[in-house]
Structure 1
Amino acid sequence: KTLHGVALAAEGLAATARDGRMDPALARRQAELVARSARRAAAESRDLLTDLRRETDPAHGTDMAAELASRTADFAARTGLPATFTDTDAGTPTSPVPPVPPSVARQLLTIASEAMENAHRHASPTRVEVRAGVHGGSLRISVYDDGQGLPAGTNLEELGRAGHFGLVGMVERAASVGARIRIGRGEHPRGTEVRVDLPLAALTPGGRNP
């Protein structure tokens, strides 16, 4: 998806140059977008390769709080949309967010990133809030935006038929690691919350839930 964004941004820059009325300010913004997107694609590629190399090292887990904080900050810098990350376990050493196997972490981080991108593209929010912590024996990650929310009656089957596979992909990714996902307003009066709950038992070898 990031590489597709690079291509679209580059095509926009080329179109601006072809029309013979290039606005220097617009051209600069488009070029900066290409550069930012390319750097993001490179970082994602490095992360993927690193994760693949760590798959055979069960002792090496991903620090989810640090990764989510980094991705949230990157999202805010890239889009200009206020976004914050809160480690709900901060200050409670009895229940810290445990290290997560890289293969599982990759799916959870992709869900969180996709939720932020969906909010930016479709919901017109004024802010995005990302949280992570341990709740009732599960690792919980939530992404909330205060935007316009999902249309009434939205369901995965209709989304799939319409070609909107972002939410469908989130559900599939959550299922692949034994997590439960909820997409809706949650306890908020408006907006959308994507909440993933992964039982801590699923983080141990042979402990993944169906």
Structure 2
Amino acid sequence: MTAPGLLPPAARSRAALRLAVAALEEEFSLPVCRGCGLMSYPPADICSGCLGDDLDWQRVDPGGEIVAATAIERPIETYFRMNAPLRLGLIRLAPGAMLFAFLAPDIAPHGRTRVALRLNAAGSAVLVAGADAALPLPGLSARRGTACFLASPDPAAAADRLASALANDSIAHHMEAGAGTWVLAAQIGGRWHSVTIGPEAVAA
């Protein structure tokens, strides 16, 4: 069992599990209400604008503007304290949605940026601003061509959590384990996507 604090918080709502699928697919998508067109963030099963339940996940423009930024010197969670200071930004997307994202170290606390979905060391999705810049936290997924790699102190737990997100969306997938590394492959939108999860030395 992984020692407390070595993994980031992983609790997600059922609706938000779909973000991990989008991260694996390397797409920036959010639920959009078919009734009123409102983009929903955080992801939810009910539209906060018209209270309709007909929401469709769609690709959205990842470009946005940093409205406000802060640095948390003493986060409450142990994992984040180990990686303090924690830079967070409030970002307004072009379609109007507002969201919080981790800010990369070399991103200015104002102006235009791009938001991306990445997997964290727990196998859950997080939002990162400055997708092409240095990563704001260790243990975030990285791409090499069409392959995805994720460093985690507990590869099995991260793989199980990602598999749960795929199962929640009824996506066909399979896992293989060997030598402390897990490989998970999933068929999303007619294409196979894979992620290799292992210790930092393996995934780096």
- Shared fold by TM > 0.5? no
Using CA pairs under 8 Å that are at least 6 residues apart, name the structure with larger relative contact order, 1 or 2: 2
TM-score (norm 1): 0.27
TM-score (norm 2): 0.28
Higher helix share: 1
Higher strand share: 2
Q: Which has the larger radius of gyration?
A: 1
